[in-house]
């Protein structure tokens, strides 16, 4: 069984600073999205439960740095990676990411379960998994809290706001994994060292003969929200109570 895990290279969100309401991304290291790591962990577990047969393959698309970033996933247990390098693309929109990832998945050939996170860590649009499912003409299940396989059948728990449903579907299938459903494993030093030697298939964007047909989204502005808070120091609990009383939240 081949398990494909799609992962997105994103800026380390903890390190983004704001200057004059604009995000400063210079020197912010790139990493793989946190929910994507949940998806990878889910993929590794599915393989373990299926008797450790088959391969876990990471697919990703991004600028040249992706070759380095993807090592994180190889160290954490993925067997190989298939990546589309598009130097021009610093910020791929969902419709284009989906086309590139679908091309990479087709290149792999056999993909029985294709895993995504429920949304990327940065843009969190949650579209790419569904778009890839449509391009590959596969069924999809989103917000998956659990995935089990028996032979060629997947049994998936979809977690909605107020309900949980269990569905069954024949492989292949696209599954989008719920955030925080597992604790992604931390690779050991020797795994990190070995990651560099694992197979990476690199597809240059120019080698792909497909139509990415341009952008469908225009960003008019992208600014940090303005904060106009009073920032008034309060030194004692008594003073705080007085403030709460004055604002009508508490009565003596």
Instruction: Tell me which residues in 10-49 interact with other proteins (CB under 8 A).
Output: 11, 13-14, 16, 18, 23
CA distances from 63 to 7, 40, 229 (A): 13, 21, 39
Among 20, 90, 190, 222, binds other proteins (CB under 8 A): 222
Q: Give the residue with the Cβ less far from other proteins, 189 or 228.
A: 228
113 binds other proteins (CB under 8 A): no
Query: Could you tell me the smallest distance in angstroms from the CB atom of residue 137 to other proteins?
Result: 9
Q: Give the residue with the Cβ less far from other proteins, 189 or 237.
A: 237
Among 30, 138, 205, 208, binds other proteins (CB under 8 A): 138
Angle of helix 94-108 relative to helix 128-135, nearest 10 degrees, comes to 50
Footprint (CB under 8 A) of other proteins, residues 58-77: none
Footprint (CB under 8 A) of other proteins, residues 161-190: 161-170, 176, 179-180
Within 10 angstroms of residue 22's Cβ, the number of other Cβ atoms is 12
Contact between residue 126 and residue 118 where contact means Cβ atoms under 8 Å apart: yes
Which of the 8 DSSP states describes residue 21?
T
The three-class DSSP label of residue 247 is: coil
User: For residue 21, which of 250, 224, 180, 217 has the smallest C-alpha distance?
Assistant: 224
Question: Residue 199 — φ and ψ, nearest 5°?
Answer: -70, 130
Among 143, 147, 149, 195, binds other proteins (CB under 8 A): 143
Query: Could you tell me the smallest distance in angstroms from the CB atom of residue 153 to other proteins?
Result: 9
Among 121, 175, 184, 187, binds other proteins (CB under 8 A): 121
Contact between residue 67 and residue 200 where contact means Cβ atoms under 8 Å apart: yes
Q: Give the residue with the Cβ less far from other proteins, 13 or 193.
A: 13
């Amino acid at each position: 069984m081949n398990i494909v895990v799609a992962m997105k290279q994103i800026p380390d969100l903890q390190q983004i600073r704001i200057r004059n309401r604009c995000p400063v991304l210079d020197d912010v290291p790139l990493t793989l999205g946190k929910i994507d790591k949940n998806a990878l962990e889910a993929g590794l577990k599915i393989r373990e439960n299926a008797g450790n047969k088959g391969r876990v393959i990471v697919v990703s698309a991004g600028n040249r740095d992706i070759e380095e970033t993807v090592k994180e996933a190889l160290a954490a247990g993925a067997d190989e990676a298939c990546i589309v390098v598009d130097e021009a693309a610093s910020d791929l929109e969902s419709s284009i990411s989906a086309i590139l990832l679908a091309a990479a998945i087709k290149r792999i050939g056999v993909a029985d379960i294709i895993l995504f996170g429920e949304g990327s860590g940065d843009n969190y649009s949650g579209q790419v998994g569904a778009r890839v499912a449509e391009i590959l003409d596969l069924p999809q299940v989103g917000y998956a809290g659990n995935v089990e396989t028996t032979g060629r059948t997947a049994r998936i728990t979809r977690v909605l706001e107020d309900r949980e449903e269990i569905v069954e579907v024949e492989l292949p299938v696209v599954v989008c994994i719920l955030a925080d459903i597992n604790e992604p494993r931390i690779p050991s030093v020797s795994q990190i060292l070995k990651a560099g030697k694992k197979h990476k298939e690199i597809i240059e964007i120019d080698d792909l003969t497909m139509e990415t047909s341009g952008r469908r989204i225009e960003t008019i502005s992208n600014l940090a929200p303005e904060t106009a808070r009073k920032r008034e120091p309060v030194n004692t609990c008594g003073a705080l109570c007085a403030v709460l009383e004055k604002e009508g939240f508490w009565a003596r």
